[in-house]
Amino acid sequence: MSDKLVTLEIDGVAVTVPAGTSVMRAAADVGVRVPKLCATDSLEAFGSCRLCLVEIAGRRGYPASCTTPVEPGMKVRTQSDKLAQLRRGSMELYISDHPLDCLTCPANGNCELQEMAGIVGLREVRYGYQGDNHLSLPKDESNPYFTFDPSKCIACSRCVRACDEVQGTFALTLVGRGFESKIAPGAGNFLASECVSCGACVQACPTATLMEKSITDKGQPEPRRGHDLRVLRRRLLVPAPR
């Protein structure tokens, strides 16, 4: 981070942050929470979800706040009727290709997609399931410690980036373009890939796409306390994430 400081306005509030700081991070510093799905504090910005769009005075379009660095004198709006419309439109597309099984989903109440749908004010989805979708994609249960359900995947690439930036394994990749985009392990399934079961991808996933298996599913004995991917990793002598 630069030693040079930059002062800008976010929703009329002045904020001074180091040069190179993202608009999203600067907004957080003044208590403004910008909706997001693909961005996290632990991963490099990606700018794919299109929920964190903002308006910047003097600029055309609606840049992603997670990938836009601050500039001196910049005036940013994080809330407007147009931004609300764009965010709801993006969320509609996500939900229209996502199983509506929240009540039985293991991530219910702890799902960022569910949370963001509420934050952007999505109340209805105009698109049905009549067209092409990804809802029938088979679940990959090859890994003994977690499952991968592509029908719930929103292609945010957080798992790919966690595998790369946190673990350095490069076991996952994003293939295809547009509607055909999907997350895939390098060798066809998780068991045959370079995956070391570190759990970085599971922790990064904002939906129930990647979920840790229960002790029963893993076929492991009930521990006296704490039983998660870190415990299993130590047992298997697999290198921990850096």
User: What is the three-state SS of 132-146?
Assistant: CCCCCCCCECCCCCE
- Cα–Cα distance for residue pair 185/24, rounded to 1 Å: 31
Model pTM score: 0.82
pLDDT value at 223 more than 60: no
pLDDT value at 187 more than 80: no
- Cα–Cα distance for residue pair 185/172, rounded to 1 Å: 4
What's the pLDDT score for residue 217? 58
Q: Average model confidence (pLDDT) for the chain?
A: 86
pLDDT value at 40 more than 80: yes
> Do 150 and 98 touch, CB atoms closer than 8 A?
no
Of residues 135 and 73, the one with the higher pLDDT is: 73
Q: Give the distance from CA 202 to its chain's centroid.
A: 11
pLDDT value at 241 more than 50: no
- Cα–Cα distance for residue pair 163/172, rounded to 1 Å: 7
**What residue spans of the chain are helical by DSSP H?**
23-29, 81-96, 112-119, 158-162, 200-204, 215-218, 229-236
Q: What's phi and psi for 18, nearest 5 deg?
A: -65, 145
What's the pLDDT score for residue 152? 95
- Cα–Cα distance for residue pair 184/128, rounded to 1 Å: 26
What's the pLDDT score for residue 87? 97
DSSP 8-state assignment for residue 99: -
> Do 78 and 54 touch, CB atoms closer than 8 A?
yes
Q: What percent of the chain has pLDDT over 90?
A: 65
> Do 204 and 162 touch, CB atoms closer than 8 A?
yes
What's the pLDDT score for residue 222? 40
What's the pLDDT score for residue 1? 60
> Do 52 and 36 touch, CB atoms closer than 8 A?
yes
- Cα–Cα distance for residue pair 59/74, rounded to 1 Å: 10
| Domain 1-131 in CATH 3.10.20.740 | yes
Amino acid (one-letter) located at 211: M
The residue extents of the domains of the chain are: 1-131, 134-236
Q: Which CATH number fits domain 134-236: 3.40.720.10, 3.30.70.20, 3.40.50.300, 3.40.50.1220?
A: 3.30.70.20
Out of 13-17, 169-173, 219-223, which region has the weakest mean confidence (pLDDT)? 219-223
Region 129-158: mean pLDDT is 90
Both tokens of residue 46? 């990606």
